[in-house]
């Protein structure tokens, strides 16, 4: 840590030269320690929720921030090296940059948190001045009085009758910055550019292309991102958001074990087609048919047969033998559990196709309530539906 005094002198000298000031190091430290209360060095910052919100920022590093390997979520504690943010009065941001001066991975604020005043001893005239600096710089870590704000997000969480906890969520700026750095490196580093070029040229590379599909970018601070925080300014106000949506629901495939299980499930899947088909047939006023009506009729029949084959294909892809415990008919077993060797002879006979086609035709007519609705369409009958299905089964088997 012997390098800190030289680092401090260099930092202050450069600031003085930039502003043409002539202050000794001790005078600048006096000023900086007094202005330190105007800023916060934090991992969670309030202003990201609303630029005019005024309240407490939090530095999780000062508390018990431990990485639990069994914790299933990504949090600030998941970051190997946490980069703290600086928020508050823009006129005092230089104090924040000063306290983040680093030597071998250790910052000034890290030492101040541990009450290690070694870096400042060289510049202090006496112990009182040294303690004054330490006390002033510590104010950047936590507010003396915790507070929220009307423009901040707040959750009143009841704990017992007439009592509650006030929960004030804060923006995890350090975690956001770690994500920003990671994505920026994976996209724009020289290594990433080289790998992408290899991919474009179809050349081999030992490295892989890392991409982030459906990435969103949220902006903070408008044209003045520095008014939110220092890290936000370094990011140009950008904060990346990964795609966060629930997974698509996929039901587990179950074989039809009950007697009518296959046709019950088919009816569920075909409900909308059958309902539209029924309305179409009921809307026909004249008894005789014409080409347009026959074409429309055929489309409905084809859609139902396609759905039948698609559903059957799902069951046929299951591990063979499931039908040994099933109550469905032998014809359905031959069709749906097609890999069973003991049913090979029945399959070759082909009688099962006639049965399945008959089941299909009867099922469709029953669901359309053909007789009850007095539907009278010359092509709409049991034999027609059965033969249409039988032709497809013969062709696909």
- DSSP per-residue codes, 117-162: -HHHHTT-SSHHHHHHHHHHHHTTTS-SS----TTS--EEEEEETT
26-to-30, 126, 249, 289, 340 alpha-carbon distances in Å: 6, 11, 65, 102, 90
* Cα 23 to Cα 32: distance, rounded to the nearest angstrom: 12
Give me the pLDDT at residue 147, please.
Answer: 83
Is residue 132 domain-shared with residue 270, that is, in the same domain? no
Closest CA to 148 of 56, 59, 228, 58: 56
Residue 255 lies in a domain: no
Residue 130 lies in a domain: yes
Is residue 11 domain-shared with residue 148, that is, in the same domain? yes
Q: In the listed set 167, 196, 221, which residue is the last one of a domain according to the structure?
A: 167
Give me the pLDDT at residue 397, please.
Answer: 67
DSSP 35: H
Residue 57 lies in a domain: yes
* Residue located via tokens 């469905």: 328
Closest CA to 8 of 124, 87, 114: 124
Residue 47 lies in a domain: yes
Is residue 131 domain-shared with residue 267, that is, in the same domain? no
Question: Which tokens in the block code for residue 159?
Answer: 């704990």
Rg (CA), the chain: 37
Residue 17 lies in a domain: yes
Q: In the listed set 107, 139, 167, which residue is the last one of a domain according to the structure?
A: 167
* Cα 93 to Cα 103: distance, rounded to the nearest angstrom: 20
Q: In the listed set 142, 167, 192, which residue is the last one of a domain according to the structure?
A: 167
* Cα 348 to Cα 65: distance, rounded to the nearest angstrom: 70
Is residue 145 domain-shared with residue 277, that is, in the same domain? no
Beta bridge partners of 86: 41
* Cα 140 to Cα 162: distance, rounded to the nearest angstrom: 35
Question: Which tokens in the block code for residue 351?
Answer: 């009688």
Q: What is the biggest distance separating any 2 CA atoms in the chain, rounded to whole angstroms?
A: 111
* Cα 59 to Cα 85: distance, rounded to the nearest angstrom: 9
Residue 310 lies in a domain: yes
The domain of 76 spans 4-152+160-167
Is residue 145 domain-shared with residue 273, that is, in the same domain? no
DSSP 324: G
Is residue 137 domain-shared with residue 269, that is, in the same domain? no
Residue 228 lies in a domain: no
- Number of folded domains that form the chain: 2
Q: Distance between the two ends of the chain, CA-based, in angstroms?
A: 81
Give me the pLDDT at residue 234, please.
Answer: 93
Is residue 138 domain-shared with residue 8, that is, in the same domain? yes
Low-confidence residues of the chain, pLDDT below 50? Answer: 287
* Cα 332 to Cα 311: distance, rounded to the nearest angstrom: 13
Residue 208 lies in a domain: no
Q: Which stretch of DSSP H or E encloses residue 109?
A: helix 108-113
């Amino acid at each position: 840590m012997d390098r800190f005094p030289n680092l401090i002198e260099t930092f202050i000298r450069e600031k003085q030269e930039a502003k043409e000031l002539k202050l000794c190091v001790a005078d600048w430290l006096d000023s900086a320690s007094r202005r330190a209360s105007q800023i916060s060095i934090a991992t969670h910052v309030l202003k990201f929720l609303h630029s005019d919100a005024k309240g407490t920022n939090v530095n999780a590093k000062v508390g018990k921030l431990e990485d639990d390997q069994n914790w299933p979520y990504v949090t600030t504690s998941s970051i190997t090296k946490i980069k703290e943010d600086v928020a508050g009065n823009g006129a005092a941001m230089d104090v924040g940059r000063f306290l983040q001066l680093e030597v071998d991975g250790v910052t000034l604020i890290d030492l101040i948190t541990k009450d290690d005043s070694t870096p400042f001893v060289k510049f202090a005239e006496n112990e009182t001045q040294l303690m004054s600096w330490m006390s002033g710089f510590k104010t950047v870590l936590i507010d003396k009085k915790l507070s929220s704000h009307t423009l901040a997000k707040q959750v009143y969480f009841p704990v017992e009758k007439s009592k509650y906890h006030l929960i004030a969520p804060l923006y995890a700026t350090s975690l956001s910055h770690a994500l920003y750095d990671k994505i920026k490196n994976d996209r724009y580093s020289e290594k990433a550019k080289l790998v992408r070029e290899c991919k474009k040229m179809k050349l081999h590379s030992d490295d892989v292309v890392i991409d982030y599909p459906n990435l969103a970018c949220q902006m903070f601070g408008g044209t003045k991102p520095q008014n939110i925080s220092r890290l936000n300014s370094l990011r140009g106000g950008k904060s990346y958001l990964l795609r966060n949506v629930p997974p698509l629901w996929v039901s587990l495939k179950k074989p039809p074990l009950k007697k009518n299980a296959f046709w019950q499930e088919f009816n569920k899947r075909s409900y909308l087609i059958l309902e539209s088909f029924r309305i179409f047939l009921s809307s026909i006023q004249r008894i005789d048919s014409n080409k347009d009506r026959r074409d429309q009729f055929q489309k409905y029949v084809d859609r139902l047969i396609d759905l039948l084959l698609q559903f059957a294909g799902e069951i046929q892809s299951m591990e063979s033998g499931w039908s040994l415990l099933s109550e469905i008919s032998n014809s359905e077993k031959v069709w749906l559990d097609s890999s069973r060797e003991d049913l090979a002879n029945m399959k070759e006979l082909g009688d099962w196709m006639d049965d399945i086609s008959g089941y299909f035709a009867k099922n469709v007519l029953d669901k359309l309530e053909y007789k009850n609705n007095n539907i009278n369409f010359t092509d709409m009958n049991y034999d027609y539906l059965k033969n249409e299905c039988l032709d497809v089964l013969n062709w696909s088997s």
